[in-house]
Amino acid sequence: MLIRASKAIASALLTLWAIATGTFLLIEHAPGGPASAERRLEPEVEAANLARMGLVDLLLAPCAGVLRDVPSTGTEIDAGAPAGHIDGATGGCPLVAGQGGDVQIVLAHDGQTVGAGQMVAAVQRPGIRRYLSTMASIATLDLGVTFTSRGERTVRENLAQGLPISAAVGAAALLIALLLGIPLGLIGAARAGAWPDRMLAVLATAGVSVPAIVLGPLLLYLFALRIPIFPVSGFGSTASLFLPAATLGLILASILQRMTRAGAVDFLQGPVAVSLASRGLRGRRILLVHALRHAAIPMLGYLPPAVAALLTGSIVVETVFNLPGVSHYLVGAAINRDHPMVMGVVLAYSALLVVLNTLAEVLMPIVDPRVVAEERVPEPL
């Protein structure tokens, strides 16, 4: 068990590193990202943000005076080489590039008077330094400011505001799905082939077939407009969670119902169930303990991505019910090409998915002891 948990944790860390590396490559090469010329912030704000993320070095004026021979955008500067000079009252001073690199943003131009310590340009760091700085920023959960907010809010602030709302809706939806899907699946398995099973199968098929973009407005129309039981939109009370949670929960409940029924029926029709019944075990115990345990095996593989998607928000549901969750920020960020915010949401979802998958991997031997037995079987010589 300990060895399996250690392997799962090591695999999770490797997966998170791969996702973080992919995030770095997207930031580097995607249109509208920090390395492109399609800006979303004022040059000074963007330069400070990129420097905070470790992607550029700021070229500061060492003294006050008039700039001369400042390099243009895209010019490559060697490490330690002069990048222009300043004519000052005391004879001036040179501009030195430090680590060197390509000039990404020019903040002051030839002939402009600058003060000591004023930003003159942002010089892009070499690739390996940008990569290491990005990994350090991700490790400290600091992805800089969002372009959409004009640099006034950080990615972490938006996630801290949106994640609790998305998680609350997702947790309520998961509770609805578990309370409906698993019991109805067991009822269908216990009455396999009878009319209750056929009726539940029709309901499950309907639940899987109806998308959230249809079910959400339908529930909104029935229980907020025609019968005003719940608020139409927004987030401010427990009642406001019910309709969006029901939209997601009913769809997931239909899936869990079908998975539970299939797993339970497979067990009840197998030789193990016959053997347990011959030993005098009651049918209810066989169904609720042994058949349910057998049905939980495939659900351990399905639930981690489903739960991660629920807890990080549904774009359709949060848009329909006007919820300020994570997807609210994701939609705005995608439209405005706000890559730091998009990457923040992707990393949050990926981290949650990896954690849940790791937990499922650790719990699998408890639900299915055959996994441990198979791992202990020596390979043939």
Domain boundary, last residue among 144, 166, 185:
144
Domain-located, residue 347: yes
Q: Which residues span the domain enclosing 67?
A: 47-144
Same domain membership, residue 164 and residue 112: no
pLDDT greater than 70 at residue 379 = no
* 265 contact partners, CB below 8 Å, separation of at least 6: 189, 192
> What are the backbone dihedrals phi and psi of residue 87, each rounded to the nearest 5 degrees, phi first?
-85, 110
Q: Could you tell me if residue 341 is inside a domain?
A: yes
Confidence (pLDDT) at 61: 80
pLDDT at position 377 is: 47
Whether residues 64 and 163 share a domain: the answer is no
pLDDT computed for residue 31 by the predictor? 63
What is the pLDDT, as a whole number, of residue 371?
A: 56
Residue 60 is classified by DSSP as E
CATH number at residue 53: 2.40.50.100
In a domain, 21, yes or no: no
Q: Check residues 126 and 374 and name the one with the higher pLDDT.
A: 126
pLDDT at position 20 over 70? yes
The whole-number pLDDT of residue 116 equals 80
Domain boundary among 144, 165, 185: 144
What DSSP assignment string belongs to 117-144?
Answer: T-EEEEEEPPHHHHHHHHHHHHHTT---
Please give the Cα distance from 97 to 100 (Å, whole number): 5
**Six token digits for residue 63:** 């003294």
256 and 346 in one domain? yes
State whether 213 and 131 are in the same domain: no
137 has a pLDDT exceeding 60? yes
Q: What is the pLDDT of residues 285-321, one digit of tens each?
A: 888 888 888 888 888 888 888 888 888 777 888 888 8
199: β partners: none
Total domain count for the chain?
A: 2
pLDDT in the model for residue 252: 92
Q: What is the pLDDT of residues 340-353, one digit of tens each?
A: 888 888 888 888 88
* Residues above pLDDT 70, as percent of the chain: 91
Q: Are residues 102 and 186 located together in one domain of the fold?
A: no
Residue 37: the pLDDT is 46
* Model pLDDT, residue 92: 73
Residue 217 is encoded by which pair of tokens? 């407005």
Residue 165 pLDDT > 70: yes
Q: What pLDDT sits at residue 314?
A: 79
The tens digit of pLDDT for each residue in 215-225 reads 988 998 898 88
Determine, yes or no, domain membership for 99. yes
Q: How high is the pLDDT of residue 261?
A: 92
Q: What is the pTM of this model?
A: 0.77
With respect to residue 162, please indicate whether it lies within any of the assigned structural domains.
yes
